[in-house]
Structure 1
């Protein structure tokens, strides 16, 4: 059974920052935080990003369950809650710190050598697991510099990705489904 400690989004920011200090050996090294959420994750994103400093020295990649036929408004909605630059990912985007990246609708995304790659989904709608897909690539690419966060939603989407991140020495955090608090997974799920 996993040991868990409830924390607020503000405390979660401190945990992520302390993990950042523990693994940084060079100035150009930074954490890449993969955040997964259901389509209804806007409130959780607002809370999370409003608690971050203006320049946290990390990059954030948001993977949401989106309707593949609708344009995402997340870039415009989140600009009110952070001073970091926010953009929808284009294929072969290099990840830089103090930036928020958002997956576009109807795409799968992976990271290789710090570059975000978009691809056409290989599975039909309803069978896709875009959060697991991205976070597993994040674990393989970044190792101890990977952070996996799951906000909102139900079901098991994101579980395999978090296991991979934890298995590569990264940090994993999940939102308690009964509250708006975060829970830090201290051992393997």
Structure 2
């Protein structure tokens, strides 16, 4: 019996898939939270319910006016016992922390490290929630968690799809609850 010649169409071929990079589990589970200005009260209430020793890290990406220069980190710190910090430079994610996007920037996650990035318009729009959620899905794969709170527009929709496709958990605030800003997850 002879072996089929190289390139023989009758020869079985192996299907090779790109290897999935293993997720480093030395970083805590990361919950990406997306909201616009309309979701600030819901965000306050949500963070106020998080136990101080949950072991989770939260990355808050707000879709705000680029000119917004508020004191959001201080506001969130009043609502939670978790440490709140604005991401102004690269930082390794730690448990029981809340990381907040800086005004008029973007965030990405690579190997458990948050990186501040220049806003990259998608389809002519600045969509920081989608950008972060996609990097979260790629970095954490099935260990990614995405939550969208009330707001306007579609920012976060494509990112939630990426998280879901990676096997992660996706949550969205019920619009009926958004009117009264009720959200109970814990």
Q: TM-score range, shorter-chain basis?
A: 0.7 to 0.9
1:41 is matched with: 39
1:117 is matched with: 115
Counterpart of 2:76 (choices 69, 75, 78) is 78
* TM-score, structure 2 as length reference: 0.78
Count the aligned residue pairs: 158
1:28-67, CA deviations, whole angstroms, 9 ceiling, x for partnerless residues?
4521000000122221011101111112100000000122
Greater RCO (CA < 8 Å, at least 6 residues apart): 1
In structure 2, distance between residues paired with 1:155 and 1:66: 12
Counterpart of 2:61 (choices 60, 63, 84) is 63
Conserved in 1, the CA contact under 8 Å of 2:57 and 2:98?
yes
Any stretches of 5+ residues in structure 2 without a counterpart?
Answer: 1-23
Any stretches of 5+ residues in structure 1 without a counterpart?
Answer: 1-24, 185-189
Conserved in 2, the CA contact under 8 Å of 1:108 and 1:120?
yes
* TM-score, structure 1 as length reference: 0.77
2:49 is matched with: 51
Compute the RMSD of aligned alpha carbons: 2.2
Q: Secondary structure at the match of 1:142?
A: helix
The 5 A counterparts of 1:1-189 are 28-123=26-121, 127-180=125-178, 181=182
Conserved in 2, the CA contact under 8 Å of 1:64 and 1:131?
yes
In structure 2, distance between residues paired with 1:156 and 1:69: 20
- Give how far 1:94 is off: 0.8
Q: CA 1:70 to 1:120, structure 2 compared with 1: closer, same or farther past 3 Å?
A: same
